[in-house]
Amino acid sequence: MNKPFVAILMGSDSDLPVMEAAFEVLKGLAIPFEAKVTSAHRTPKATHDYVVDADRRGCAVFICAAGMAAHLAGAVAATTLKPVVGVPINSSLDGLDALLSTVQMPAGIPVASVAIGKAGAKNAAYLAAQIIGIADSQLHQKLIEERAAAAAAVVAKDAALQKQLAG
């Protein structure tokens, strides 16, 4: 069986600088992914056809990034039963328009919305990793180790601050 992969969809290439943060997280965890510029509004049929095909080929999680009236994650969620994570992009109105468009899905068609911008892009990738990690103990272990390293980094930063304050 093919390794499950993550599909990252972006409404525009203008979303790419933010979504590169998700690429880095997935690369670091050795999770295969595809990335595609495709729009719910400008290329609705191509978006639909890609999602159906990716689903059939073993896509485990879809990550969808869009700004403004951000319908990409919702349109993808309407097409697949795989988990869909939505990343609101700050293209206008500080990203609030995209956040509300992404998060306010009607009941029955869920989108897991993360934060606006780069933190959201990273968390979308981690969430996808956690979902895949349910059935992949090696990946799950990697996530445990990453969290431990992140905690150790905070402890080290605090130790440096305490040293500085002590003069």
Give the interface segment with ligand RP5, choosing from 7-15, 105-113, 130-138, 145-153 (CB under 6 A).
7-15
Of 4, 11, 95, 117, the one binding ligand RP5 (CB under 6 A) is: 11
Helices in the chain by DSSP H: which ranges? 16-28, 44-57, 72-77, 96-103, 118-133, 137-165
Q: Is 67 in the site for ligand RP5 (CB under 6 A)?
A: yes
Of 7, 26, 31, 66, the one binding ligand RP5 (CB under 6 A) is: 66
Number of residues engaging ligand RP5 in binding (CB under 6 A): 10
Quote the tokens at residue 87: 């990343």
Taking CB under 6 A as the criterion, which residues in 99-128 touch ligand RP5? none
Give the separation between CA 148 and CA 146, rounded to whole angstroms: 5
Smallest distance, Å, CB 18 to ligand RP5? 9
Of 16, 23, 35, 39, the one binding ligand RP5 (CB under 6 A) is: 39
36: part of which helix (H) or strand (E)? strand 33-37
Quote the tokens at residue 123: 């968390």
Sign of CA dihedral 20, 25, 28, 32: negative
Residues at the contact surface with ligand RP5, assessed by CB under 6 A? 11-12, 14-15, 39, 66-68, 89, 91
